[in-house]
Amino acid sequence: MRNINRWTLILGVSILTLCLASSAQDVRTLNTRIVDILAQFPAENSKQTEDLCHEIIQLGPEGIHAICTLLLAPGMGDDTQARYALNSLSHYAGRPGAGAQRILLSKEYAKALVLDPDKDVQVFLIAQLQMVGGDESVKTLASYLKDERLCDPAARALLAIGSKSAEKAFLRAWNSAIKKARPIFIKALGEMQSQAAVKKLLPVAEGDEPALRILALAALANIGDPRAREVLSRVPVLQR
């Protein structure tokens, strides 16, 4: 019985060792593949770019996440190839019929955005979400609408998404908007032709801040809601 237990233990340890060795080898292989792919950016032509992007997609979430971790704050090193690769990948995943790849990227970008504290890296990742983001990205992007540095890129990304969820994100953030964000929100809601924003825009259009008033009037004109007809009819008076 003791011999059986002994051999069972030895066998178990051997299997565990092989599994760990195999796992370590997989990680090294992934890292090597990433290095080889990134070394070819920027690609010589669009065909090579597409082929490289396809290779990155084949690496799956783990590979995309690994490339995102190579993004560096200014002065911390050269991350040019990683940025080239991710930006090319965003364009690649934005093509028609690539919905699954787009969602894969948007989720990985959102994860990286939350994990990386550097504002410059976050601006870059938000710009990628502007290209590939969808409703699955709205919650993450909305959390940056109160950030002095990131509210503008986050708003542009939400505007690019342009869905009802994105519209609601602006409306929910309206009352607590920081000063810098107010003109950004007004322009965004105007471009989205948000009927739900009319009630919020009307007081601004008749307010005492000229710059915001002009933006609100332009937004209301673009929305075209009958509720703004009276305010818009007085525009020549307001401009004097």
What is the secondary structure of 112-157 as a DSSP string? HHHH---HHHHHHHHHHHHHH--HHHHHHHHTTTT-TTTHHHHHHH
Q: How far does CA 181 lie from the centroid of its chain?
A: 18
8 A C-beta contact, residue 217 and residue 238: yes
What pLDDT score does 238 carry? 46
* pLDDT at position 234: 84
60: left (phi > 0), else alpha (psi -120 to 50), else beta? left
Query: What does the pLDDT read at residue 237?
Result: 52
Whole-model pTM: value is: 0.84
Cα dihedral 179, 185, 190, 193 in deg (nearest 10): -150
Q: How far apart are CA 94 and CA 184, in angstroms?
A: 25
- Say what the pLDDT of residue 183 is: 97
pLDDT (0 to 100) of residue 27:
54
Contact present, 186 and 201 (Cβ < 8 Å): yes
Going by the DSSP 8-state scheme, the letter that residue 43 receives in this structure is P
**Under 8 Å CB-to-CB from 225, ≥6 apart: which residues?**
195, 198
In angstroms, rounded to a whole number, what is the distance separating the alpha carbons of residues 164 and 227?
Answer: 21
Look up tokens 């990227």; give the residue: 105
Per-residue pLDDT tens listing for the chain (240 residues): 545 444 443 444 344 344 444 444 545 589 999 999 999 999 999 999 999 999 999 999 999 999 999 999 999 999 999 999 999 999 999 899 999 999 999 999 999 999 999 999 999 999 999 999 999 999 999 999 999 999 999 999 999 999 999 999 999 999 999 999 999 999 999 999 999 999 999 999 999 999 999 999 999 999 999 999 999 998 865 444
